[in-house]
Each structure stands twice: as C-alpha cells, then as structure tokens.
Structure 1
C-alpha cells in the first residue's frame, strides 16, 4: 500500500518512515514549516527522505502558523521545562495543527495516487494534544473518506496511536532508525536542551525501551527529576 508519511523530523515520525520503508510501502515524506522555533527539525526530515530515497514535500505554512497564536512553539513565549504530563505543557499546543497538516497530506496523497497517509501520533500525546487522540483520528479518517469520495481512496494510518513512545523507540531500533539523525527539542538550540517536555519524554522513552540514547543533551540528568516530580503528583 503506497503510503505518504507526515514527517516532522522528530524521533516518532522518522521511525515511522523507516518502518513503512522497511515494509516496502513508503512513497514520500511531507513536512510543514509553520514558523516553529525548532524548524531545524525540517533538516532532519529532509535527510530522512534522502536516506530512504523518496521525494520530500516541504509545505510552507508560515502564514497560517502566524495566525495560530498563543503557543510557545510559534510565539515569543518560553518553552517550559518538565515532563509532558504537567499542566504547563499545554502552552505548546498549536491549535488544530494536526488537522490542518493531515488535510494537506491527504490532498498530496490523492494527487499522487497514494493509498494511505501515516502519522506518528502516539498514546503519550493524548493528555495534551486533542488532535492526537483516537477519537480525533477516527473521525478525521471518516471525514476524509467523504471528502475524497469518488476521487481517491486514501485511509489514515496511525500505528502508534495506542502505543507509548518507548514502544516507538523499540520498534524504530528494530528497523534501523538512526536516532541521532532526529530532532525533538522544542527550544531548537545547538543540542537538545534535556529539559523541555519533548526532551524529557525522549530520554525517558529510551530508558524504558532499554535502547541506548545517542542524543546529546545540554542537561542530560534533568529527566530523572522531571519523571520523579511527575510520579510524586
């Protein structure tokens, strides 16, 4: 099944691209520049496309992103430190981001004869991001089938939606994902900060999966305290 993968350049989506490629189904990667402060992730998505030998479509969503105000990912708002499960991490929500990106992804897939759009949303996203939850992905899939009815048959593939990030690390490792060639940190510095929600979740996932983490963190030990603080709540 020819599958387009929505790829940010992060650990989850690059792992998904490698898994789909190993199955012989990867047709292309689609990424989005929405003005995110950590847009360096897009370089990692482009590198993944080159490595896997598929086209890379980079969609310029900066004018749209400029209108989706109020997020630490797009505005001049500090990205908070700590585990993802903390209430403060809601400031990283970009409203309707996945719905917009998936709608474009389905259009690209239909135009190119692809049969599926795959996205790497996972169970750990559900607490904070409403457009990563199963209820959303199921409804979106049904909506898109109606939107393309009679023109194209494209389905939404969400293989991680009920799985953890540690599961993704384990599965990605089995399929040879070069984790050092992925970017998660929301702060977009020279190296991963080790303190923001994505860094803490990334480091914890490698620990839980029993896979060596090749990532360089500015604060490599912060995740232990962040996880402990979460568990104490």
Structure 2
C-alpha cells in the first residue's frame, strides 16, 4: 500500500505525514506540496524540512494561476489584509453563513483532484490530507468538512476506477486532539510553519497562529517551534 500525503508544512499535514509513516512505513509514503500563490514561501520550506526529516520523496505542484482571480487575503496579489483574530471571532462576524476571508476558493477540491492524477501515476492507493473539525466549524472552510470529504472520496474512487481513495484522518477531531496524536508520534513540530504571514517569527495574531497556540496549550506543552 502506497500513500500520498498533501503536505503544507503545518501542524495538521505534518501530523498526517507522521501518521502515514507510522502506519505504512516511510518507503511507502510520498508527499505533495502545492504552491497556490500564497504570500510567502515559508510553508513550502517547512514542508521540505519535514519531508527530509522523514526521508520520504517529495513532489511539488504550482497551482497559483488558478487562484489569480481570487482576492482571498492569503494570496500574494490580494488587496485585503489577513485578519488578526481567532477563527471563532471571524465565524461570529460571518454568522456562520459564509467562509472566512482566508478561505481560498475550493482549494482542497483542486488540491485533491490534481493530487489524484499524480497519485495514480505514482502507484498510490490512498491520499491523506489534514483537514480537522475546527476547520469546518461554522462554515469557515467548507472544503474541510466531513460532507466534502465523503463527496470527494466518492468522486475520486469512482473516477479512478476504484484504484484510489482519500482519507482525512482528523476530520472528526479538533486541532488539540491532532496535536495530542502528533506528540505521541513524536512529530517534528519544531520544523513546521503555520503563520499566514511570512516574517522571521510567527506573528501570533492571525487565526492559525492563535489556534495553533491554543492546541499546544490544551496539551500542556510549549509549541516546539517557539522553544
């Protein structure tokens, strides 16, 4: 059984990679890291460091041209600022009816669709990605929900001639539980990068920085990347 892991260099995807390596062995795991026009290269650099740590093959894909029409605040060409508030606060502002401003339009759908083609060509039977319950809460990131995962899995399973399926092993647990699992697997969180800004140090103010800090605090440990 060969597995492809979508690897962004953050906490969730790196935990998914650690889980895949633990379950299938590093020789049966490859990673795919995608550039989508984000404001900095820190994510990809972190993904490279993580792949090197685990000794797995890493592939790269550039989908930035697809998102050139979006003004999502995460994108390099966006005129919007990245919100300096937690996802919970952002969800309250949208009243849970629309995605948050850092939602890149159908990003996971595109990532998984293109990954499916590459995974089939590389002989993979499974694609792992790190969506978790906090991501889809309040409609913040609808392409991280259990419903989305189920629909995409069915489409990819049928479209691949029953050769390939996708798994979001954390889709029903929150980020604190993801970190708890990762700590038990000795995931190298010191190598990861989550911040939406590309500074020398994490900003500590964007939604992903706030949620990351809360997840480690819930486990009673200091974030290894800040140690």
Shared fold by TM > 0.5?
yes
* Corresponding residue for residue 188 of structure 1: 198
Q: Which runs of 5+ in 1 are unaligned?
A: 218-233
Aligned to 1:215, the other structure's residue is in SS state helix
How far is the alpha carbon of 1:43 from its aligned partner? 0.6
The residue number in structure 1 matching 2:19 is: 19
For the 8 Å contact 2:20–2:29, the answer to whether it is kept is no
Match of 2:128 in 1: 118
Which secondary structure state, in structure 2, belongs to the residue aligned with residue 121 of structure 1?
Answer: coil
| Whole-angstrom distance in 1 between the partners of 2:143 and 2:208 | 17
Matched residues in 2 for 1:73 and 1:39: separation?
12
CA distance in structure 1 between the aligned counterparts of 2:181 and 2:41, rounded to whole angstroms: 26
CA distance in 1, matches of 2:48, 2:79: 26
Matched, 1:160 2:165: no
Corresponding residue number in structure 2 for 1:177: 187
Aligned 8 A contact 2:3 2:20 in 1: yes
Aligned to 1:225: none
Deviation sequence 1:98-154 (CA, Å, 0-9, x none) = 0000001111111111110000000000120010000000000001112111xx611
- 1: distance between equivalents of 2:133 and 2:35? 24
| Secondary structure of the corresponding residue to residue 51 of structure 1 | helix
Q: Distance in 2 between matches of 1:55 and 1:213?
A: 27
d(CA) in 2 for partners of 1:28 and 1:212? Answer: 29
- Give 1:65 deviation, angstroms: 2.3
**Deviation sequence 1:22-45 (CA, Å, 0-9, x none):** 223442000111110133110111
Please give the TM-score of this superposition, normalised by the length of structure 2: 0.90
Q: How many residues align?
A: 214
Report what 2:88 is aligned to.
Answer: 85
State the Cα RMSD in Å: 1.5
